Structures are given as C-alpha cells and as structure tokens.
Structure 1
Amino acid sequence: MPSTAHVSPDEIRKGFSKAMSDMYRDEVPLYGALMELVAETNTHVLDTQPHLAQQLQRTGEIQRLDMERHGAIRLGTAEELATISRLFAVMGMQPVGYYDLTPAGVPVHSTAFRAVHEQALQTSPFRVFTSLLRLELIENPDLRAFAETALAKRSIFTPGALALIEQAEKEGGLDAENADEFVRQALETFRWHHTATVTGAQYQQLSDQHRLIADVVAFKGPHINHLTPRTLDIDHVQAAMPDKGITPKAVIEGPPCRRCPILLRQTSFKALDEPIAFTDAQGSHSARFGEIEQRGVALTPKGRALYDQLLNAARDELGAFPNEGNATRYVELMERHFQAFPDDHAQMREQGLAYYRYFTTEQGLAARGSADQPRTLDALIAAGHIDVEPLVYEDFLPVSAAGIFQSNLGDAAQSHYAANSNQAEFEKALGRRTIDELKLYGETQQRSIDACTQALLA
C-alpha cells in the first residue's frame, strides 16, 4: 500500500479523541454538564479578556481549546502496558515523563502518552495518563497471587485492534477505512463494563488492600476513568459546579490562582457509585469521575525546582493531606508561599523560570535587512520585532494526580507506601524509554527562536 494513502496519525488521534468523548458523554451524563460549563466559562473569558484571546490566537491554542482533552486509564500488567504503547503509537502518541505516585499512597507508576511536536499538538492535544499497577506492593502474598492470576486471564484488546496495530506497524500506517475501524476497535479497550470478573468477597479483599487495586483487577478492561476538558478559569468553574448539580472536590490541585498561570491546575467531582454484577452477586463500584484542568506556562528545571520547594513548604506547614476540613487554610498557605514565585511573564523569562515561544511581528518583517536592525534576541524583542508568548504545559504533576486519585478513593486510600520509584522497571514493561518532557519544551522553544532568526536575520 503506498504511503500516500495513509491517514496522518494526528488525524487518527483527533478522530479517536472525539469518539472517546462521545462515548464518555453517553456513559457519564455529568460529563456533558461539565462540558457545557467549561464552554460557557471559556466563552466568557475570551469575551472579557481580549489580550488572552489574542495570545491564544497567536500561539494557535484557540483552535485546539474546544477539543482539548486528557483521559486516564490504569493497567494491570507489563504486557498490557507494552501493547497500549503500540496502540497509542498508531495515533502518534509517545510516552512522555515518568510519575511515581507511591509516596502519596497510590500503588501505581505512570506515564503520559501524547504527541510531542507543537504542530502535532495543534492538530490534537489528546493525552492519556496511563498508570501501571504495582502488584509487588500488595502485602498479602495470597491476594497478590490471586490478582496476578486474574489479570493473566484477561485480554483488554480486541482481535481487530491487535490486527490493525500489526498492520500499521508493518505498512507504516493505515488507510482511511482501516483508520476508522481502528478507532472503533481501540475504543472497546476503554469502554465501561457493568460486570466484574470476581466474586463480591474477592472484590472486597482487593478493595480493602486499596480501592484502586480493585478497580484494576476486578474488571475485564481498563475503563477510561475520566476525561478532562481545558478551561481558561478553573476558579470560576469550581464555584459554578454546584449550580449545575455537580459537587466539586474541596481543593483545586496544583499552584494557586495567579495572573500568569503556571503548570497545571485541576479539580474534579467525586467518582460515581455505579451498579455492577459480581460473578456471584450484585454490588456497586466507584471509579469514574469528571475532571477539569487549567494549563499555564511550562517551567524550566530552575522554575520547577522553585515550584516544588514552595509546594512542599506549604504542605509541610499544613501538616496533613488537603481536604474539606483544611481547604481554606491550604489555599491561604499556598498563596502565601507562592508569593516567592514571580507572577509576571517578563520576570519569569528573564530569570529562566519558564519556557516561551517566539513569533516574528509585521514590524520585524518590515525591518528585515535594514542596517539598524537589532541582532540579538532580547534586542529584537525590545524593538517589537519579536513577540513572546508562554509555552503551554502539556504534562502532569504527580502530587496533583495523586490528590485527584485520593479524593475519589476516600480517606482510607491515604495509606503510605515507602518511596521506591522504579523507572527502570516501568520502562522495561513499556518496552522503551520514556521521553524527558523538559527536553521537549526546550526543543520547541529553540525551534521558535530559530524560525524567528531565520525570518529576520538570515
């Protein structure tokens, strides 16, 4: 088959993201209400903040805003992780970052599958936060053996999906008909099932060890447990959720509200309690919830170190896991400690705290070749020949992810495992190295600088 007949992986990803969103809206009606609230909020922000609208227009984010989503799944075995990596590769998604959630009492480690080039991200910024259960953390050896046996019996991919993955790998892609079929087949891996593969008593044993373990082991597939739209004002969404019949979690995860947003802020509504059939009885299970995110500028290693320092200081002073009882104090502590982080893009750029994209201006292009044209990046910026815009953070924060997980697993889930990050073992299961997200941001920033200098100075 000639490669010209192949559908772009970015277009397959775009189609899959829409199909996933449609499926989840049908399965979880509150997700639809959440989407409506986010759309209303974003429209209001763009209407009332023309500077932000102009910024998003220049960076291209305005085109992707309405379709922006991330999802999350939890896998049980190395084989499942290796195959999901191949499935996502058909859609141009690669494993970016390594996240160890065990220090926060969640027995998984994770990566985020996403596109890695800014042009591909503009076509579809769909991401899937993908976690692998750490079976070695199940303390009871008999229960651990049962979990391993239960997971070994299941196959989470349809034969059709596996065949199309192999075809895409062999032929270098899929034509339009096969791409559509691939989306249909791949979607089955993420679908909700109302039946469990274990008895009620076995489910309870798994849940008593950790509710997330039960969520992974007791079902025949890794149902998508949330889809997350992107808002431009998460504080407004948080305040407005109750009027839509949605109860938000107590605390917005991530940095405090700022004039110049950094990294990632997230909130959610509690997981739904849904009826399921065990192999011997009827029961219920809580796993799927709604989440909203607001994305800010990506931070450099220096900026991330400062962020982590301030976050840890606020949490240490709080002395407890953020919850409904201490939410007000936690917000106050975060706002006080984060006063040490500049809330100004010019300062963040000058201090090397964040990544930015650079764009030529009409004034700069008109001055090209003139004798007095500035020759350095800073001088070109000062002269108005180059505009600077924040580079959006495309990834996740382990403390925030753990906070979302814990808020939906209940207070009993806040047990702590020893901090024993094992990236090498995760990458062995994955079948490849994860990509350093900071390297990607640096490359994107440098490409924009190179394009400007080529356009203005070459």
Structure 2
Amino acid sequence: MPSFVSPDEIRARFSRAMSDMYKQEVPLYGALLELVGEVNQSVMAQQPDIARALQWTGEAQRLDMERHGAIRVGTAAELGTLARLFAVMGMQPVGYYDLTPAGVPVHSTAFRAVHEQSLQVSPFRVFTSLLRLELIDNAALRELAEELLAQRQIFTPRALHLIEQCERDGGLNETDAQDFVTQALETFRWHHDATVSSAQYQRLHDQHRLVADVVAFKGPHINHLTPRTLDIDAVQAAMPGRGITPKAVIEGPPTRKHPILLRQTSFKALQEEVAFTDQHAASGSHTARFGEVEQRGAALTPKGRELYDRLLNTARDALASFPSESNAGEYLRQLGEHFAEFPDDLAQMREQGLAYFRYFVTEKGVAASELPATLQGLIDAGHLHFQPLVYEDFLPVSAAGIFQSNLGDDAQSHYAGGSTQDSFHQALGREVLDELELYAQTQQRSLHDCAAQLGLPSLA
C-alpha cells in the first residue's frame, strides 16, 4: 500500500504557506496577526469561561492557525479546476452565495473541510467567487473580457499533473504533497504585470472594479487572508494604534456574551503598483487586496437563521440607508435594540432550537452508576456538557458589505438577473453541500458518541 499524506495535513501545510506568502506581499497582514494574537491571549486570560469552552471543543488548539482566504475566478473551467485542486486538500464546496443583489457581479461558494475532526486539524476555508460575465451589458467589453480570460492559464503544468495523479492514485506521497503545496501556491500569488493595456483596464474598471480585478491579471491572487479573533470589538478599537484604519461598521450581528454566526471587519491594505502591457514599468496602480478579521460564533439552525435574518433586516430597514461611517452609531443602536429579541443564553438557545451544539460526557457522567433516560435529564444531572458548534461558513449580507467597503461605494452598481445556482453547479462540476445539514450531522454524531460512552442505546 502506498503511503499517502492525509488531505488534512496537505491543507494545513498549504494554509501555512499561504499565510507566509501573504505576509510578504501585504505587510499590514503581519501587523494584524500580531494584534489578533495579543487580543486572543488577553481574552483567554481575563475570561476563563471562554478559555474553558475552547478547551472543551478543541478550538483552543486551532485558533492561532485559523484563516480564511478569498479569491475570484473568471471562467467555469477555472472554477471547476479549483474544485479539483481543493479536493486534494480535503476541501469541499459548502453553500451558495449570490452577491448580485448587492451590486457585486459574482456568485460564490466556500471550500472547506466538512467533518469536525478534519476541521480541528486545519479549519482553512477559501471563499471562492465566479465572475458572472453575462451581467456585463456592454457587448464589446464582455467579448474583451471573455477573450482575455480564455488566453490565460492560472494553474502550473505541474499542479495540474499532481491533481490528476492524486485523483488516479487516491493520494500523494510526501515528496509529491510538498511539491503540490508549492505549485498550488502559484495560482494565488500576486503578479504586478497586468494582461491588459491601461486603456483596457480603465474600461473594465469603469464597468466594476471587481471585473478589472478578475480579468486584468494572470491569476486570481488571494485578495485577503482572515484570522479569527475572540473579540472583534477590541481588535477594531486597537487597529488605528497599529497604523490600520478599519471600516466604520463591523458586519454581522451585534456584540453578545455568546456570539452567533460571524462578525467581520476589514481595512484597505494595499494600492498595488501595476505594469500594463503598454507601459515599460510599474507606473499604473490597482486597489483590490485588503485586510480582514473575523469573530465566529454559534452555528444557527434554520429556526435561528430565520430569526437572525428577520432581526438584521428590520435593523437595516430602520436605518433606511447603507451602513457607513456617517450612520455607524445609529446602526449599532438599531442592531442592539432589535437583537435583544435573540436570547443571549446558551441554555435558552438550545432549548428553543436556535443553534447547533456538541455534547460531551463529563467526569460525573463517566462515574455515574445510574443515568437519567433523557437528554435533558443527563444535562440537568451534570452528566453531559454542551457547547455551540462554531459557524464555519459565511453570510451573504456581510460578504457584500465587505466587498462594497473595499471596492468603494461608487462600485455599488445594480445588476439585473437573479440567482443562477444551477449554472454555478455546472461550472463547479458538482452540487454544493448544504451547511445546515453538515451542522445537523455533526450534532448527531456528538450525541451518538455520548450515548456510546454512557452505554445508552441512543440520545435524540
């Protein structure tokens, strides 16, 4: 039997290599990592309840290496090959996100590990967007974009060979796995040389900054890497002191004792020097890549998501405009007022079926000679402990807010045409997984494991 490196280990290596590369390309990313690390250590030192919860779930071990990246590709073929590349690293497409209602001409998925044990090894995720060329209403510009994208190859020949080899043989050995990480990294590297003239770039940029970002370069270049913090409000407040100017409003739910879903903030990181094809030196410029930080909370059930969406929409409707620096205070007030309806207590969230949880047998449960017959009875008796499942995915409204903040408000064009999930699946070569089903499966495995440890037939 050949000795293959596990996909989880390849993903962990790739995540570290990506972080090292991005730190060289975007110096402020290194400053952000230092700040996030300091805030996380402070939270765990000052709030032992949070530290204990992270130990229960194993998240304490994965916190420092947690990242998500984001890339944007231009063609169905590029997306399909990316899906195969990520599969080598044990990453599957989870969820479908249509950002056109927010004026961003892409639809997206997130590639990530799907089993809780794999996530503990490496929770690396990549939010991957496909440009919707059909939404460019200028026919000549659309043809130009199609021609430019058809001419490029964003994967090295060796990376393509190793993908095929992995698919054929069922894995990669140590030497090939390390080579794969090196070769795959080239797809995500920044290139100063554009593939268009300055005039062509301007035409693409005038259509939408994101169109220029996707079409005008040799590859999709990673446009941000996002560490996870335990206190995004503290990071946001400390950023200016590190020479980092954050966006005015943190995307997602308001501050809570028990965080839910995902909160994100960002800052513009770089105005890149670019050499267009009609220039001899890098005398042009392009702004696309940015910094981002996130705080992850509980994964919500369909009932919890329905409540979250309703409260968020109500708060935004009350604001009557796009959240910005001028109305940030009022928006935070509206969020706090409306989200008071969402219980900020884990027991209530569990009893009301608003979030997914993992269950753990306690020392008292292991030692008990007699056990209650119900799940609630076991919890009340102290035989079982529960912690919310961490939300591993993304939020369309928050993603759109990050895009808009970093592309500029003038980039908020309106595009006709609704969601085309079927065409996305066709480009991907498979259907995306339903994130809610994955959380439900993880919760059920947790209950099954607890029942087995306690010698019970089942726990519902």
TM-score > 0.5 by shorter chain: yes
Q: Hey, what does 2:431 align to over in structure 1?
A: 433
Matched, 1:146 2:144: yes
Matched, 1:56 2:54: yes
| Residue aligned with 1:325, SS | helix
Matched, 1:361 2:362: yes
Structure 1 segments unaligned to the other structure (5+ residues): none
Matched, 1:12 2:13: no
Q: Hey, what does 1:351 align to over in structure 2?
A: 352
Matched, 1:326 2:324: no
Q: Hey, what does 1:273 align to over in structure 2?
A: 271
Matched, 1:232 2:230: yes
Matched, 1:125 2:126: no
Work out whether residues 271 and 408 of structure 1, in 8 Å CA contact, stay in contact via their aligned partners in 2: no
Q: Deviations over 1:260-280 (max 9, x none)?
A: 100000001114211100111
Q: Hey, what does 2:301 align to over in structure 1?
A: 300
In 1: Cα distance, 2:417 partner to 2:271 partner:
31
Work out whether residues 79 and 427 of structure 2, in 8 Å CA contact, stay in contact via their aligned partners in 1: yes
Structure 2 segments unaligned to the other structure (5+ residues): none
| Residue aligned with 1:72, SS | strand
Matched, 1:422 2:417: no
In 1: Cα distance, 2:72 partner to 2:80 partner:
13
1:98 shift after superposition: 0.3
In 1: Cα distance, 2:290 partner to 2:53 partner:
31
1:417 shift after superposition: 2.0
Matches within 5 A, 1:209-248: 209-248=207-246
1:419 shift after superposition: 5.5
Q: Deviations over 1:331-368 (max 9, x none)?
A: 1111111111111111110000000000000100111x
When normalised by structure 1's length, the TM-score is 0.98
Q: Deviations over 1:404-427 (max 9, x none)?
A: 011010111112223501111100
Q: Give 4+ residue runs of structure 1 displaced > 4 Å after superposition.
A: none
Matches within 5 A, 1:195-210: 195-210=193-208
The change in CA–CA distance for 1:321 and 1:419 in structure 2 (over 3 A counts) is: farther
One-letter code aligned to 1:286: T
1:318 shift after superposition: 1.0
In 2: Cα distance, 1:236 partner to 1:417 partner:
36
Work out whether residues 270 and 289 of structure 1, in 8 Å CA contact, stay in contact via their aligned partners in 2: yes
| Residue aligned with 1:24, SS | helix
In 1: Cα distance, 2:434 partner to 2:453 partner:
29
Aligned partner (choices 70, 83, 86) of residue 84 of structure 2: 86
Q: Hey, what does 1:412 align to over in structure 2?
A: 410
Instruction: Pick which of 323-332 and 86-95 moved more.
Output: 323-332
Matched, 1:453 2:454: no
Work out whether residues 198 and 278 of structure 2, in 8 Å CA contact, stay in contact via their aligned partners in 1: yes
Q: Deviations over 1:364-392 (max 9, x none)?
A: 0111xx3x420111100000000011100
1:457 shift after superposition: 2.9
Work out whether residues 72 and 130 of structure 1, in 8 Å CA contact, stay in contact via their aligned partners in 2: yes
In 2: Cα distance, 1:144 partner to 1:318 partner:
36
Q: Hey, what does 1:67 align to over in structure 2?
A: 65
Work out whether residues 94 and 110 of structure 2, in 8 Å CA contact, stay in contact via their aligned partners in 1: yes
One-letter code aligned to 1:61: E
In 2: Cα distance, 1:316 partner to 1:384 partner:
43
In 2: Cα distance, 1:151 partner to 1:446 partner:
44
Q: Deviations over 1:16-36 (max 9, x none)?
A: 000000000011000000000
One-letter code aligned to 1:108: V
The alignment-based identity, stated in percent, is 72
Q: Hey, what does 1:260 align to over in structure 2?
A: 258
In 1: Cα distance, 2:264 partner to 2:414 partner:
22
Q: Hey, what does 2:175 align to over in structure 1?
A: 177
Work out whether residues 375 and 457 of structure 1, in 8 Å CA contact, stay in contact via their aligned partners in 2: no
The change in CA–CA distance for 1:419 and 1:234 in structure 2 (over 3 A counts) is: farther
Instruction: Pick which of 54-63 and 412-421 moved more.
Output: 412-421
Q: Deviations over 1:127-178 (max 9, x none)?
A: 0000000001101000001000000000000001000000000000000000
| Residue aligned with 1:293, SS | strand
| Residue aligned with 1:304, SS | helix
Matched, 1:444 2:442: yes
In 2: Cα distance, 1:199 partner to 1:418 partner:
29
Let me know the Cα RMSD of the aligned residues: 0.7
Q: Hey, what does 2:399 align to over in structure 1?
A: 401
Aligned partner (choices 105, 108, 118) of residue 106 of structure 2: 108
1:239 shift after superposition: 0.3
Instruction: Pick which of 104-113 and 310-319 moved more.
Output: 310-319
In 1: Cα distance, 2:427 partner to 2:132 partner:
11
